[in-house]
Amino acid sequence: MMGPGWCAVVVLLAMTEAAAGRFVVEKNSVRVTSPEGLKGKYECAIGNFGVPQYGGTLHGWVVYPKVNRQGCKEFDVSFKDKEHRSGARPNFVLIDRGECFFTTKAWNAQIAGAAAVLVVDSKDEPLITMDNPDDTGTKHLENITIPSVLITKKLGEDLKKSAEKGEMVSVLLDWRESLPHPDERVEYEFWTNSNDECGPKCDMQMDFVKSFRGTAQVLEQKGYTQFTPHYITWYCPEAFVVSKQCKSQCINHGRYCAPDPEQDFNKGYDGKDVVFQNLHQVCVFKVANDTGKPWLWWDYVHDFAIRCPMKEKKYTHECASHVIKSLGLDIEKIDKCVGDPEADEENPILKAEQDAQIGHGKRGDVTILPTLVVNNRQYRGKLDKGAVLKAICSGFEETTEPTICLSEDVQTNECLENNGGCWLDNDNNVTACRDTFRGRVCECPIVKGVKFVGDGYTNCEASGIGRCEINNGGCWKETKNGKTISACSHEESNGCKCPEGFKGDGIKSCEDIDECKMKTACQCTGCSCENTWGSYECSCAGGDSMLYMREQDTCISKQAVSSVGWSFMWVIFFGLVFAGVGAYAVYKYRLRSYMDSEIRAIMAQYMPLDSQEGANQQQHVAHAGDI
């Protein structure tokens, strides 16, 4: 029985051919923001577990524990924010490399309340990718939600020294440039495997397909993404092609191989069954893509895993065919694409997969399964719906990301704490803080159609039409005796102005002007003045027989008032004349008879009406009446 060892040889050989390509360590930047002496931008390697904040940043204080510095045991201290020193910023833990799995360190830090882990390399070397172990030690893998990064020994030593001296050390982890974001479409690949019996990794892979399927399909259907699934295969070295091992692990005469699922050639399914099913999955994608429905791949993979599992011995061509048919895909085309696995010839589909595996551009070789590639860069971290969506979202050129990227799944919830440091109007529940996957932004909002303008941090003001509806446009407003007076005016697009009868800044206060005291009104002889809120009342000396004329600040006799009343009649009369109703001539003479000099004098105060104009006006009326 030569299981795993032999397997390793094949992998090794297959990989030497790919030596032209290389493994690329995916990085994000770490900016030391204090102490002064260490300030600067450094690089760190993104760990392939936990949840990196693709597209975003995380700012925290660095804590170097006094004991358990390798983080292999549970910490007996808490890294939760200690208010006296950290404010709203979380704590990152500095942990030495060595002794135990990276995932164990991350888990211990997470349960002690750390927001991120900085693992310090133990030797001077280029950065490496921290991966999760394959079989053992993965029991907490799925539950690690904090990001982990590896920093160089040099940077680590410097940070430790500062921390031990008692200096405040803070760093900003920045993933904003970890993935390119050139345009409004994201291309991504998922390097996967149809094998469903490889332990936690296979389970996580399937969980991911299940949870991400819906999102992936929506993104694809709306044209936001172009997705391609991929499968890694190995090949058998020439000399081994006729061996029992190659025959059981490979198809097409040793050309395309996969490791035995149980690593036992005499038991259960063999590597060749896995390659064969992988080939089906590529072909399903190809045929679905050719008919313009590439998203059917997600349904196929999902359904196949449920309907054709290895443990129920249904991992077969027949079962696959049932699933293909149920999805309405052309089974003949797919069978043609799959070809004859016994034939001693190349399969163009799998050949293309092998070529794609070799890195090009910035991507590097794909050697970890499963691997997600976003905009030709490998994603690192947990295959979790929210985390992956965040990564895909960060691949869009800013402002072109689909609305799903602004949904709750990918929010950072930074607004919950201290309102993200943004402007907040508590009384009216209006805030400038908006959570996005890129982190929070402080932007004056639009509330009920009213646009707020300002810097978003210290001030935002409602502006434009409708602004008075919200918080009265930030202006003064008061109600007294059932009368409400506001300094917000719809006519003015911004600012506040006390209405007539008031003085003040219009924002905090408007004070009633005492017109009587100021002697700005009711100065007619014998008149008595009484101030009211926002106005005044003036009564004439002559009592009931006299009427106070506000604009002119004068008193006139009631007789004149009746003439004034006539002036309104005159207005109505205009209307009548224009409508061509009524006997114009009669009114004309009556009107004239009332136009004695006294009335004309009063009316002149209401409209420019000297005798000349008056004559014109009558002519004009006459014309109108003639029509």
Ligand X SMILES: *[C@@H]1O[C@H](CO)[C@@H](O)[C@H](O)[C@H]1NC(C)=O
Q: Where along the sequence are the contacts to ligand X (CB under 6 A)?
A: 139-140, 142-143, 228, 286, 289, 294, 429
Task: Say which residue the tokens 């932004």 belong to.
Answer: 441
Sheet of 377-378, strand order: 225-231, 186-192, 371-374, 377-378
Decide whether 106 or 171 has the Cβ nearer to ligand X: 106
What's the CA gap between 42 and 31, in Å, rounded?
Answer: 6
User: Which C-beta is closer to ligand X: that of 177 or that of 203?
Assistant: 203
Helix (H, G, I), strand (E, B) or coil at 62: strand
Of residues 51 and 549, the one with the C-beta less far from ligand X: 51
Task: Phi first, then psi: give them for residue 464, nearest 5 degrees.
Answer: 80, -170
**Beta carbon nearer to ligand X, 228 or 243:** 228
Shortest CB 196 distance to ligand X, Å: 20
CB of 339 to ligand X, least distance (A): 17
DSSP letter, residue 502: E
- Cβ pair 234, 14 in contact under 8 A: yes
Q: CB of 446: closest distance to ligand X in angstroms?
A: 13
> Least distance from C-beta 624 to ligand X, angstroms?
58
Backbone angles phi and psi of 244, in degrees to 5:
-60, -40
The secondary structure of 288-337 as a DSSP string is: HHHTT-TTHHHHHHHHHHHHS-GGGT--SHHHHHHHHHHTT--HHHHHHH
What is each CA distance from 492 to 13, 230, 495, 535, in whole angstroms?
Answer: 78, 61, 7, 22
Angle made by CA atoms 198, 202, 205, in degrees to the nearest 5? 165
**Smaller CB separation from ligand X, 92 or 285:** 285
Long-range contacts of the stretch 612-620 (C-beta < 8 A, 24+): 618/588
Q: Which C-beta is closer to ligand X: that of 85 or that of 139?
A: 139
Q: Please identify, using beta-carbon distances, which residue of 281 and 563 lies nearer to ligand X.
A: 281
CB of 223 to ligand X, least distance (A): 11
State the nearest-atom distance from the C-beta of 17 to ligand X, in Å.
Answer: 23
Beta strand segments in 115-154, E: 116-120, 148-151
3 state DSSP class of 568: helix
Tokens of 577: 């004349």
In the bound state with ligand X, the residue whose beta carbon lies nearer, of 86 and 211, is 211
Q: How far is the CB of 429 from ligand X (least distance, A)?
A: 4
**Closest distance to ligand X from the beta carbon of 573 (Å):** 56
Concatenated DSSP letters for 97-123?
Answer: S-SS-HHHHHHHHHHTT-SEEEEEPSS
- In whole angstroms, how close is the CB of 536 to ligand X at the nearest point? 41
- Between 63 and 141, whose beta carbon lies closer to ligand X? 141
- Give least dist CB 428 to ligand X, A: 9
Shortest CB 331 distance to ligand X, Å: 19
If the CB atoms of residues 139 and 590 are measured against ligand X, the closer one turns out to be 139
Rounded Cα gap, residues 286 and 420, in angstroms: 46
- 3-state SS, residue 558: helix
Contact (Cβ atoms closer than 8 angstroms) between residue 473 and residue 492: no
Cα–Cα distance, 386 to 219 (Å, whole number):
14
Give the nearer residue to ligand X in terms of CB position, either 230 or 390: 230
Closest residue by Cα to residue 26 from 412, 537, 498, 374: 374
DSSP state of 498: P
**Residue 172 CB neighbour total at 10 angstroms:** 14
User: Given the complex with ligand X, which of 428 and 617 has the nearer CB atom?
Assistant: 428
Position 546: which residue type?
M
How near is the Cβ of 172 to ligand X at its closest, in Å? Answer: 29
Degrees to nearest 5, angle at CA 279 with 277 and 280 = 65
Question: DSSP string covering 492-509, please?
Answer: SSSS--PPTTEES-SSS-
Compare residues 226 and 489 and give the one whose CB is closer to ligand X.
226
Give the SS3 label for residue 180.
Answer: coil
Of 243 and 289, nearer to ligand X (C-beta) is 289
CB of 187 to ligand X, least distance (A): 10
Take residue 56 and report the two structure tokens written for it: 């975003």
Are 414 and 88 contacting, i.e. CB atoms less than 8 angstroms apart? no
Min separation Cβ 294 and ligand X, Å: 6
Q: Which amino acid is at 282?
A: V
